[in-house]
Amino acid sequence: MAQVAEPSERFHEAGRRWNLPGTKEEDCFSWSYDASPANSGQLYLQSLLRTKRFDIDSLLPPPPGIDSIAWLYEHMRQICIELGIYVSLVHRECTEHQCPVMRAQETTYYCAGHGSPRPCSAIGYSVHTLDYAVRQLSQRDSTSMKHFQSMVRRLYRIFAHVYFHHRDVFERQESATYLYARFVRLARKYELAPESQIIIPEIPSTVG
């Protein structure tokens, strides 16, 4: 019988770091770190999240050697990674039949992932929006504050849909990850979304 690799072998094989298929959510990014801000902003942020995920105030200020826009970029990359996990969980009940259009409360959002904006299922909108964000972030040199604002506006709708239409999933994930709280604090810090677009009520304990 083949032996199951130890976590250090699964996550740090041949000097590479990845979350392999079947990795439990709580084990994601749990490889050993020798990262520093100067060497890898993404690995450094992931190392902070392993120990300070629930201390958002300590995550937002840029570390020495990284300017504020570069740190925003690393945060957005990481948020997209984690939101991908989030969407993979909500899709079990957010089906094309149950949620045929993207909606938060009574507001319907058109999806821009079809050439011209048109209605799309909530899960389709979520996947298309994440694809858009990842494409933008892969072109780092062309990612401006305007692009970040558009990205945040679209990504926020995913959280809003889950909050208003799949509350149990939202509360379970928020309690475990503080992902929404981090996302909103980041949006406010960098003025990426007007308060009128932040429609989820304040969550003082981020659910608890």
Residue 208 belongs to a domain: no
Give the span between the Cα atoms of 61 and 68, in whole angstroms.
8
Structural domain boundaries, residue 110 = 39-197
CATH code assigned at 144: 1.20.140.30
CB distance 108 to 101 below 8 Å: yes
Nearest 10 degrees: Cα torsion 17, 18, 24, 27 = 20
Mapping DSSP to helix (H, G, I), strand (E, B) and coil, where does residue 102 land?
Answer: strand
List the structure tokens of 132. 């858009």
- Percent of the chain past pLDDT 70, that is, above it, reads 82
The average pLDDT across 186-205 equals 91
Entry pTM: 0.81
12 is in an annotated binding site: no
Residue 69 belongs to a domain: yes
Residue 33 belongs to a domain: no
Give the span between the Cα atoms of 176 and 178, in whole angstroms.
6
Residue 142 belongs to a domain: yes
| Strand partners for 107 | 104
Residue 191 belongs to a domain: yes
Which has the higher per-residue pLDDT, 204 or 31? 204
32-41, 92-101, 108-117, 171-180: the lowest-pLDDT one: 32-41
97 is in an annotated binding site: no
The total number of structural domains in the chain stands at 1
Nearest alpha-carbon partner for 77 in 185, 151, 176: 151
161 is in an annotated binding site: yes
Residue 18 belongs to a domain: no
Nearest alpha-carbon partner for 28 in 88, 72, 95, 93: 88
pLDDT at 158 over 60: yes
pLDDT confidence of residue 9:
39
